[in-house]
Amino acid sequence: MAVDYTTHDGVAVITLNNPPVNGLGLSTRAGIVEGIERAQNDPGIEAIVLTGAGKAFSGGADITEFNTPKATQEPTLATVIKIVEGSAKPVVAAIHSVAMGGGLELALGAHYRVAAPGAQIALPEVKLGILPGAGGTQRLPRAIGLEAALNMIVSGTPVMSEKLADSGLFDELAQGDLAEAALAFARKVGAKEGPHPKLRDRRIEHPNAAGFIQFARNSVAAVAKHFPAPHKCIDAVEAGVQNGFDKGLAFERECFIALVQTPESRALRHAFFGERAASKIPDVPSDTPVRDINQVAVIGAGTMGGGIAMNFINAGIPVTLLETRQEALDRGLATIRKNYEASVRKGKLKPEALEQRMALITPTLSYDDLKNADLIVEAVFEELDVKEQVFRRLDEVAKQGAILASNTSTLDVDRIAAFTKRPQDVVGMHFFSPANVMKLLEVVRGRETAKDVLATVMKLAKKIRKTAVVSGVCDGFIGNRMIEQYIRQALFMLEEGALPAQVDRAIEKFGFAMGPFRMSDLAGNDIGWAIRKRRYQEHPDMHYSKIADRLCETGRFGQKTGGGWYDYKAGDRTAYPSKVVDDMIVAFSKEANAGRRKISDEEIVERLVFSLVNEGAKILEEGIASKASDIDMVYLAGYGFPLYRGGPMLYADTVGLYNVERAIRRYAAQPNGDAWQLASGIAALAAQGRGFNG
């Protein structure tokens, strides 16, 4: 039963009991209505308390029901709220832990609200690409005022209940036990004559509502270019201000129905569930015991090691930082300090926290200091023999049960594990640069990595606020293996007729944060060059355009050398199209006898994005990723793929795999078409009329 009903000396208590967050699915909604009716029909009941069991009052509408018949089956949430509001006996919402979305809207439909301190109050629908669809845009402004309400609705950000104590939202902030406070409050109001107050009857007072709404509109226009929902939130609030509650409510409903169908909302919901699904590994049960991680060590205090150490320090976990030379250690520590100082300057970190964080680092040159570490993350040079030295040494000094992780981006984690006598304790933790900023963490599962090691690292990832995705062992893991195909296509298109600025512009218009050439100039073109040189040896049969090598031979490594695919001015990161490079590209095409043609923006986008999709499909077939949404999370959290498109695999579903397959076959028949080996999974799913995401 999703709702419990109990009575306590004249008060009926309706308790939502639908773990994990008391989502307002159909059976919960029906249970509430049943409870309210039962209380009306019981002459011994004078008031009703509505609350939630477990860790939430309610996390809102059940998102899994969206776009299914259950979502619109009566009693809908709007009907439930109408019945609650219409109850002759006063309804008191007893709010604790979480009251979000439809959960808060339900509470707004009650006549009174008693809250515990520490409860997160929010209308986060906008983060799912929708707007509050059960009266939130109408009742919240009537409860806490236009400005505060609009801020909450448009941002979706939770506000703590104690911060809202004087806002008009709560009738009481319970100091002691919430259940007792709510019962006492209910008895008090139950003894009063009705009718009891309804938020719908309150007026929205504001000296210049139209001016404020315009201000909100301007702010949203600047930040929510690709998302329709924030705009609709404002429209709905405005409709209530201008035309009154009922018309506002009807308009809100209309907007909700339209928004829930949009690709943007689908993408945001996909990302919400994808992030949670990523932490679940098919053959690692959720109750797998985890190892305690109270002390971490990081080997190498370079670009990555310093950033990796900061993640743990920020979560309050002490870190021993090991280097080979004192100068390298000093340099690494100075960089970490500089990063924290920058945060203090920006007001993101309290000055006193800086020293507290630095005090959590123990620098060392001795492996003896690693013997207490529960987790050791290696971030030394990307050379197998250096990794070998380090892991052999770690095997000697690390305590029994310590997890040994490598941050390698290209080397074989199984080979690294084989340098130890405990391959079950070895795992890849592939952070992205800058490691203290980037959300993505690829957790690389070796052939012998123990399940409890994986479970521990996934849990730890949550603690250090990373989006962790498990990848099997392969060259480049999920993210870099796919991006290689994308870069290959970008380079072929230069050879065939495009220029860097056109390619970047087209894909940035599609929504990528940065096109491949601006990105490469930022990261350093020499990095890709080094990888390609290795590829020429390892895969002599694989066909690459040599155009990027030609660029690198001229020393144009990107921003750091003042020029790459673009020209740069000192102290200015703006990419200026380069005549020298563009001429070089045209000359290269001639030499290669490639014949230049006009390449449309549509072709650029398709070739770049579908190359990701095709490789992603192969990664799925090989079991390197266990689900399509994991691939999307890698691309959303680590590669600047536009959130409103939900990741490459969801985007492919949106386009339709039938169309993706046709496009790939078309490109495979063009010059440089040998780069396209259609993934069999695409053809198979397309034939069944299915997508990667069901």
Question: x/- contact string, 118-157, with ligand 3HC (CB under 6 A)?
Answer: ------xx--x---xxx-x---------------------
- Cβ 388 to ligand 3HC, closest distance in Å? 39
Residue 261 binds what, of ligand NAI, ligand 3HC, none (CB under 5 to 8 Å, by partner type)? none
DSSP string, 490-551: HHHHHHHT--HHHHHHHHHHHT-SS-HHHHHHHH-HHHHHHHHHHHHHH-TTS---SHHHHH
Q: How far is the CB of 143 from ligand 3HC (least distance, A)?
A: 15
Tell me if the bond preceding 20 is cis, omega within 30° of 0.
yes
CB of 305: closest distance to ligand NAI in angstroms?
Answer: 6
In terms of DSSP bridges, do strands 159-160 and 172-173 run parallel, antiparallel, or are they unpaired?
unpaired
**The tokens 């266990």 sit on which residue?**
626
Rounded Cα distance, 215 and 237, in Å: 13
Catalytic residue among 125, 252, 378, 484: 125
> Is residue 620 classed as helix, strand or coil in its secondary structure?
helix
Which among 46, 85, 105, 275 is annotated as catalytic?
105
What is the DSSP code string of 636-692?
HHHS---GGGT-HHHHHHHH-HHHHHHHHHHHHTSTTGGG----HHHHHHHHTT--T
Q: Judged by CB, which is closer to ligand 3HC: 134, or 506?
A: 134
Which positions from 84 through 103 interact with ligand 3HC, judged by CB under 6 A?
A: 98, 100-102
Q: DSSP E strands: which ranges in 258-338?
A: 296-299, 319-322
Q: Is the CB of 99 or the CB of 398 nearer to ligand NAI? A: 398
Looking at beta carbons only, is 408 or 629 nearer to ligand NAI?
408
301 contacts which partner out of ligand 3HC, ligand NAI, none, CB within 5 to 8 A by kind?
Answer: ligand NAI
What distance in Å separates the CA atoms of residue 465 and residue 446, rounded to the nearest whole number?
Answer: 23
Give residues in contact with ligand NAI (CB under 6 A).
299-305, 322-324, 328, 379-382, 386, 389-390, 407-409, 431-433
CB of 450 to ligand 3HC, least distance (A): 23
Residue (72 or 389) nearer to ligand NAI, CB: 389
Contact 474, 468 (CB under 8 A): no
Cα 376 to the center of its chain, rounded Å: 26
Residue among 339 and 659 whose Cβ is closer to ligand NAI: 339
CA distance 638 to 476: 14
The two structure tokens encoding residue 375: 């987790």
Tell me which residue has tokens 């895969």: 539
Is 20 an interacting residue with respect to ligand 3HC (CB under 6 A)?
A: yes
Residues 36-65 that bind ligand 3HC (CB under 6 A): 56, 59-64
Instruction: Return the number of the residue (34 or 382) whose C-beta is nearest ligand NAI.
Output: 382
What's the rounded Cα separation, in Å, for the pair 498 and 187? 75
Q: What spatial distance separates the first Cα and last Cα of the chain, rounded to whole Å?
A: 29
Rounded to whole angstroms, the Cα distance separating 84 from 78 reads 10
State in angstroms the smallest separation of the CB of 626 from ligand 3HC: 15
Q: Which is nearer to ligand 3HC, 61 or 379 (CB)?
A: 61
The residue (of 173 and 402) whose beta carbon lies closer to ligand NAI is 402
322 binds, among ligand 3HC, ligand NAI, none (CB under 5 to 8 A by kind): ligand NAI
Q: Which residue sits closest to ligand NAI, CB atoms considered?
A: 302
Q: Residue 158, preceding bond cis, omega within 30 degrees?
A: no
125 carries an active-site annotation: yes
> Which amino acid type is present at position 285?
P
98 binds, among ligand NAI, ligand 3HC, none (CB under 5 to 8 A by kind): ligand 3HC
Spatial separation of the C-alpha atoms in residues 153 and 135, rounded to whole Å: 12
Determine the Cα–Cα distance for residues 470 and 572; give it in Å rounded to an integer: 38
Q: Are 23 and 60 in contact (CB under 8 A)?
A: yes
Contact between 21 and ligand 3HC (CB under 6 A)?
yes
Among ligand 3HC, ligand NAI, none, what binds residue 433 when CB lies within 5 to 8 Å by partner kind?
ligand NAI
CB of 24 to ligand 3HC, least distance (A): 7
Which one of ligand 3HC, ligand NAI, none is in contact with 59 (Cβ closer than 5 to 8 A by kind)? ligand 3HC
**300 contacts which partner out of ligand 3HC, ligand NAI, none, CB within 5 to 8 A by kind?**
ligand NAI
For the question of residue 105 being annotated catalytic, the response is: yes
Interface residues with ligand 3HC (CB under 6 A) are 20-21, 23, 56, 59-64, 77, 98, 100-102, 105, 124-125, 128, 132-134, 136, 273, 276
Active site residues: 105, 125
